[in-house]
Amino acid sequence: MKSGTSIVLAAVAVLLAMKVFEFGEQPTPPRKPSATEMMSVAFVGNFSQQEIRREVERAAQVFIISNDDQSFSRMGSALVALRKNTGVPEMMLLRCARAMGEETIGTSIKLEFAKAAGLCSKTLR
């Protein structure tokens, strides 16, 4: 009897474990927010994700930066760091950097996005 009780208890434990852990199914991991979603939270001002994305894509095109989330995240991080250091809002820095980059198109001047944004932060401070 003792061995039969042990088998029944073991079977019940397995069934409970299967129910509790939903055996065979993996929980869906939470979706990682996009770079523009993070920027819409971190940036000063009331800008939509679409406004931010449009400006970031335009700047990425000017500076020949990959049009992907990882590149956009790096751009956003640089802008937030500059804003924290100088107080100049990110979108103002982004637009200034893009305009500065557009001025160098077709010239021998090679300007990187982070350097342009840094120069803008000094100028607009």
Instruction: Check residue 9 and give its pLDDT.
Output: 63
Q: What is the pLDDT along the chain (125 residues), one digit of tens a residue?
A: 455 666 666 665 665 566 555 555 667 889 899 999 999 999 999 999 999 999 999 999 999 999 999 999 999 999 999 999 999 999 999 999 999 999 999 999 999 999 999 999 999 99
CA 26 vs. chain centroid, Å, equals: 25
Instruction: Check residue 53 and give its pLDDT.
Output: 97
Instruction: Check residue 28 and give its pLDDT.
Output: 82
- The CA-atom distances, in angstroms, between 44 and each of 35, 87, 117 are 15, 10, 16
**Structural tokens at position 11:** 């079977």
Q: Token match 């129910």: residue?
A: 19
Domain ranges of the chain: 35-124
Instruction: Check residue 27 and give its pLDDT.
Output: 74
Find out whether 95 and 51 touch, Cβ atoms under 8 Å. Answer: no
Task: Output DSSP code: residue 55.
Answer: H
Strand (E) or helix (H) holding 57: helix 49-62
- Which distant-in-sequence residues (6+ apart) come within 8 Å of 99 by Cβ? none
